[in-house]
Amino acid sequence: MDVCYTGYGALHSGNHTQKQYMQVMQKHFHAECPTYIKSLTCDPCNQLREIDKKLMKKLKRNKSYKLTNRERKKILDVSKKCWRCKNKGTKKCTLQEYIDFSGAYRGKCIDN
């Protein structure tokens, strides 16, 4: 089974065997992938994403919106918890986790 990946470190054609794809991912993203995968299941990280969404809505409505001290403290507290959660322990990502992380997909790349 081939993997289509056209991002950083990819072959010019974008078509990789599973082994080639894993070599590219492990060379360039061995530290980022596990952190990303853990952040998807970490409650403080999910909470931080929700806070970000709400803030973006407020900023969209009112471009001169200023954070209150209470909001600033909450964001800082949740950010610290998220950082601790997603950086606890290390593991290697699987093929499927690298595919989810990089936005690649299984199969050959379709030429435009």
Tens-place pLDDT, residues 68-79: 899 999 999 999
What is the share, in percent, of the chain residues with pLDDT greater than 70? 98
38 with 26, same domain: the answer is no
13 with 50, same domain: the answer is no
26 with 41, same domain: the answer is no
For residue 41, what pLDDT is reported? 87
76 with 105, same domain: the answer is no
In total, how many domains does the chain have? 2
Q: What is the pLDDT of residues 25-64, one digit of tens each?
A: 999 998 888 888 888 889 999 999 999 999 999 888 888 8
Q: Residue 110's pLDDT band (boundaries 50, 70, 90)?
A: confident
For residue 83, what pLDDT is reported? 92
pLDDT higher at 37 or 18:
18
Task: Tell me which amino acid residue 48 is.
Answer: L
62 with 85, same domain: the answer is yes
59 with 102, same domain: the answer is no
Range of the domain at 4: 1-30+93-112
What is the mean pLDDT of the segment spanning 78-86?
92
108 with 81, same domain: the answer is no
63 with 103, same domain: the answer is no
82 with 38, same domain: the answer is yes
What is the mean pLDDT of the segment spanning 5-12?
91
22 with 56, same domain: the answer is no
For residue 3, give the nearest of 110, 103, 105 by alpha carbon. Answer: 105
87 with 100, same domain: the answer is no
For residue 36, what pLDDT is reported? 86
What is the mean pLDDT of the segment spanning 80-101?
88
41 with 80, same domain: the answer is yes
For residue 37, give the nearest of 109, 97, 104 by alpha carbon. Answer: 97
Neighbours of 75 (CB within 10 A): 15
